[in-house]
Structure formats: structure tokens, C-alpha cells
Amino acid sequence: MQTQKKILIAFLLNLFFAIFEFIGGILTGSVAIISDAVHDLGDAMSIGLSYFLERKSKQQPDEHYTYGYSRYSVLGGLITTVILLAGSVFVIFNAITRLVDPVKIDYDGMMIFAVIGVFVNFTAAYTTRGGDSINQKAVNLHMLEDVLGWAVVLVGAIVMRVTNWYILDPLLSIAIAMYIFYNAFKNLKQVLDLFLEKTPANIEINQLIKCLKALEGVVDVHHVHLWSLDGQHHYATMHIVTENQNPAMKKRVKEELSKFDIEHVTIEFESSHEQCSNVSCTVTHELSGGHHHH
């Protein structure tokens, strides 16, 4: 619930602020502020989307989504991140044209708006901090980026007021955009890893197999598959070769796996003289130190 509430607050703040910015941009005649308003409106849209997807992601599993809806939150993160990437490219492109042809700006009005901007967005960033979902992290990145943006606008306005270096405005916006792009790109990689069922980053699969094989009565472990629903809830399936195929054994294996933050485990027991039906088993078998053909 906490995450949802935070995202909703961020959405409302951003939406009202974007409207306020449009008015401000028109009043000061500042293209910088107007283009920032466009950017904020984009933010508000993607945050609104994140809010609904985060809500949906909390639904319990049903017959259509047996794994539950957690991936919807990841999808929100993906869309927000892509919008951020596109936004920063757009900002950089615009700034370059302004480097060639600097525009005069009403810096007094700009300063007033920048002070309000820093304050409002800092509040929003503070509210959305400390999230655990990728979706909320993306939203928080938006907020931080807005705080940074306004802080830079403020510094820029003060410097321009003293020196009349109008070229500073586009230079600063390029710097911010590149910073945003870099962070959003890191976020995107995380999201894609989840969709591509990559082994969770904090789990070393060889280590995990070693720990399981060290359990008393376990002859071999193979056909190990690990994936994560949303970066927090990890799943695993595996075949365990053992002669004591009993509930106690299953419990020991699950306890061992819970140390790796794996909360949902499906185990198939095999006896040592049984031939594993899965041909692809040999892969994980080699991983677990069975046969090494190099």
C-alpha cells in the first residue's frame, strides 16, 4: 500500500506542477520553462500509469495469472524508463539547437519559478524515496531528476543575471539530460533482465548448488532453474537426487534455499539409479561439478 500511496502523491504533485509551469513559462517567455513543463507532463502521465500498474501488481494470483500480477509493476518501470530515455534525447536535441542560437531569457521570473520548482519536486522526491519496487525506483528517479533540473535552472538564472551568458542554459540542460539518460539506461537493463528470466543478480547459482549438495543425503542436484518475478520475489525449480525422498528432506532443502531469498520452490526427487528424463539436465549437471568436458 505504501508504494502505491507514494506514487499517487507524486502523480498529483507532478500534474499540478506541470500546469503551473505552463503558466509560468508563458508569463516569463522562457522556452526553457515551457519545455520543462512538457517534460513534467510526460512524467505525470507515466507516473499515473505506474500507479495503476502498481495497484494491479498487488492482485492475488488467479486462473489467468497463476504467478500473480507482480510483473505489471515491472512493466510500469519499463514504460516510465523508456519515456525518460526518449525525454532526455529530446532535451539534448533541443539544447544543441539553442547552443547555436542562444535565446534571451527573463531570469528574474526564472529564479522565482526555480525556487518553487526545487521546493515542490524535493517534496515529491522525498515522498517517493526508499521504494523497493523497480517501478517506484523509476518514479523516484523522475522526481530527483526534476529537483536537479530546477536546482540547475536556479543556479543558471543567477549566473545569467550576473553575466548574461545565455549559452549556459542549454549547456546545463544537456548535462542534466545525460545524467538522466545514464540512470534510466541502468534501470532499463534491470527491467529487461527480469523479462528475460535472467538469474537474480544477488544469487550465485554455483554457490547455491554447492550448499544443496552439502546437505546430508543429497547425492546430486540438477535441472536447476532460477528466476525472479519482480526483482524481489524469486522462484526456483530443481531435481534432487536422494534416497530419502521424504517431507523432512524437502523441508531441509527449502530452508537452505530461503537463505538465498528464494521463497517459492518446486522440487522433484529422483533416486540415484533413475535416469533423468530431461536431456538438458546435463547442462546444470556440469555446472554442479558433475562432468567437466572442456
Query: CA-based angle 269:201:235, to the nearest 5?
Result: 35
List the strands of the sheet with 234-242, edge to edge. Answer: 218-228, 234-242, 262-270
CA distance 277 to 280: 9
Region for 233 from its dihedrals, namely left if φ exceeds 0, alpha if ψ lies in -120 to 50, beta otherwise = beta
The tens digit of pLDDT for each residue in 218-244 reads 989 988 999 998 888 889 999 999 888
Is residue 4 within 8 A of residue 51, CB to CB? The reply is yes
Sequence ranges of the domains in the chain: 2-195, 205-287
Q: Determine whether domain 205-287 maps to CATH 3.30.70.1350.
A: yes
The tens digit of pLDDT for each residue in 66-92 reads 888 888 888 888 887 888 888 888 878
pTM over 0.85: no
Is residue 151 within 8 A of residue 182, CB to CB? The reply is no
Which residues of the chain are modeled with pLDDT < 70?
1, 28-35, 38, 103, 105, 128, 130-132, 276-294
3-state secondary structure of 174: helix
CA distance 289 to 200: 21
Q: Which CATH code is given to the segment(s) 2-195? A: 1.20.1510.10
For residue 223, what is the DSSP state? Answer: E
